[in-house]
Structure 1
Amino acid sequence: MSPRHILLLGGTTEARELAAALAAHPGVRVTTSLAGRVSRPGAVAGDVRVGGFGGADGLAAWLRAEEVDTVVDATHPFAASITANAVRAARITGVPAVVLRRPGWRPESGDRWHEAASLAEAAALLPDLGHRVLLTTGRLGLAAFAHLDGQRFVVRCVEPPEPPMPPHTEVLLARGPFTVPGETELLRDHRIDVLVTKDSGGAATAPKLTAARRLGLPVVVVRRPALPEGVEAVPDVRDVLERLGLDDRTV
């Protein structure tokens, strides 16, 4: 009997945890697909493929050719096009699909959040909020801020960004998890007066929000894109395993 084949669209901490949990089951074959945007991804259990599929139709063809039993989308909450293609490919082929999304952040007492629907909207808010900006929205999408010559940016990302980017920019290369003392020191050392972030959720990068709260700094939070119509995400690895009828053998 062939093993149950699960395609895991990965790239997140949760995806690596799920791959390890799935690989622990002898009757399960897990293939993790990575977009290839990060040159040194962490180790992943099971099979790994790198690169795109060629849209929803290409993914549907791959699901059929590789006899995939279930597709799990555990990509970044802002990987909207990948999620849309995964859902469409699953519907084309009839392969069951599960979407894993870590819960988003929620403001707490003392937070000075300003929500934005896009990076462009976030950029439009900055002239009224501060001069020195810590930008933690990733290395892609900096073009939305490139016209702002009245602000000075500290851009933190995992890998070097490419232009266009704001004219007054300092790049910090770092990978989480971060700590509240470390984030507080960063904000103070660079005299940051406004933080910009995507609502990525999770604990690894949340300390910057606590640090900003304690220092009384405003935070521009870019809201997540909506999930495809009719799709409801599950919040963690255990929920995915439950949907698949499997136990978590990594605990």
Structure 2
Amino acid sequence: MSPHVLILGGTTEARRLAAALTARPGVRVTTSLAGRVARPEALAGQVRTGGFGGPEGLAAWLRRHRVDALVDATHPFAATITANAARAAAATATPAVILRRPGWQAGPGDHWHPVASLAEAADVLPDLGHRVLLTTGRLGLAAFAHLRDLHFVARSVERPEPPLPPDTHVVLARGPFTTAGERALLREHRIDVLVTKDSGGAATAAKLTAARELALPVVVVRRPPLPEGAQTVPDVPAVLERLGLAGA
């Protein structure tokens, strides 16, 4: 019987993994999307959309569809999904691995302020600047809604829903971004502080280079902890190696 791999997707790495796995003869691939993006990019293999109903629902899906391996390739901040996947894999004895691109690292000339949450980011902002570029995604802006004395430029792929800070300008854009483009954005809006999650990867890292060049402070929200005992790999080749498909 062909091995069935379930990918919990929504990231560039998940899309690349789906393409790599479907290119292997005899491998069946299903990618699951949360459904938060209205027009997701095309994916190789089968695609399902929507939640599973918690860890119990995911465990039932793994059994019903005879999944041989589970790859959590969700966003580094999708902590609930990652926790549910770990519990479901353990309950069904399904081999599981977490695909996580490495986080960003501060370098010479960076002025980073690491925080543990969006709420903590909101707490430190008034002491760092008054014109803020928010690149934390459209779902977390409520954490900043009480900040009435700051001007926000909120960038996201799709329009965020309220509550938003009262003085907010929304920019709709999808990466990858260039350093020149990010530098121009920061200057155009006279940004004096950047807020980002430690998503990692190259697609959105240019803003950090631009902030360094302009000597801007950057509030960086740290990644949530992974489930105890989680097995992580940094890229698609490492997943293929773990699944025994590197040379297939």
Name the TM-score, length of structure 2 as normaliser. Answer: 0.99
Runs of 4+ in 1 over 3 A off after TM superposition: none
> Which residue in 1 is equivalent to 2:37?
38
> Which residue in 1 is equivalent to 2:64?
65
Instruction: Give the match's secondary structure for 1:192.
Output: coil
Whole-angstrom distance in 2 between the partners of 1:53 and 1:149? 38
Whole-angstrom distance in 1 between the partners of 2:232 and 2:194? 28
Cα drift, residue 233 of structure 1: 1.1
Aligned runs of 1:1-251 on 2, under 5 Å?
Answer: 2-247=1-246
CA contact (8 A) 1:72 1:97 kept: yes
Q: CA-atom RMSD, angstroms? A: 0.8
Name the CA shift for 1:22/1:231 in 2 (closer, same or farther; >3 Å).
same
Name the TM-score, length of structure 1 as normaliser. Answer: 0.98
**Which residue type is aligned with residue 11 of structure 1?**
G
Whole-angstrom distance in 2 between the partners of 1:110 and 1:129? 16
**Which residue type is aligned with residue 117 of structure 2?**
S
Whole-angstrom distance in 2 between the partners of 1:151 and 1:110? 25
> Residues 171-201 of structure 1: CA distance to partner in whole angstroms, max 9, x if unpaired?
0000000000000000000000000000000
Whole-angstrom distance in 2 between the partners of 1:138 and 1:195? 13
Cα drift, residue 27 of structure 1: 1.2
Cα drift, residue 141 of structure 1: 1.2
| Structure 2: stretches of 5+ with no match in the other structure | none
Name the CA shift for 1:8/1:248 in 2 (closer, same or farther; >3 Å).
farther
Cα drift, residue 232 of structure 1: 3.1
CA contact (8 A) 1:114 1:220 kept: yes
**Which residue type is aligned with residue 149 of structure 2?**
G
**Which residue type is aligned with residue 91 of structure 1?**
A
> Residues 141-193 of structure 1: CA distance to partner in whole angstroms, max 9, x if unpaired?
11100000010000000000000010000000000000000000000000000
Residues matched between the structures, number:
248
Instruction: Give the match's secondary structure for 1:62.
Output: helix
**Which residue type is aligned with residue 79 of structure 1?**
A
Whole-angstrom distance in 2 between the partners of 1:241 and 1:187? 39
Cα drift, residue 26 of structure 1: 1.5
Instruction: Give the match's secondary structure for 2:233.
Output: coil
Whole-angstrom distance in 2 between the partners of 1:228 and 1:237? 21
Whole-angstrom distance in 2 between the partners of 1:21 and 1:207? 27
Instruction: Give the match's secondary structure for 1:166.
Output: coil
**Which residue type is aligned with residue 232 of structure 1?**
Q
Whole-angstrom distance in 2 between the partners of 1:67 and 1:89? 13
> Residues 181-237 of structure 1: CA distance to partner in whole angstroms, max 9, x if unpaired?
000000000000000000000000000000000000000000000000111311000
Name the CA shift for 1:95/1:211 in 2 (closer, same or farther; >3 Å).
same
CA contact (8 A) 1:133 1:195 kept: yes
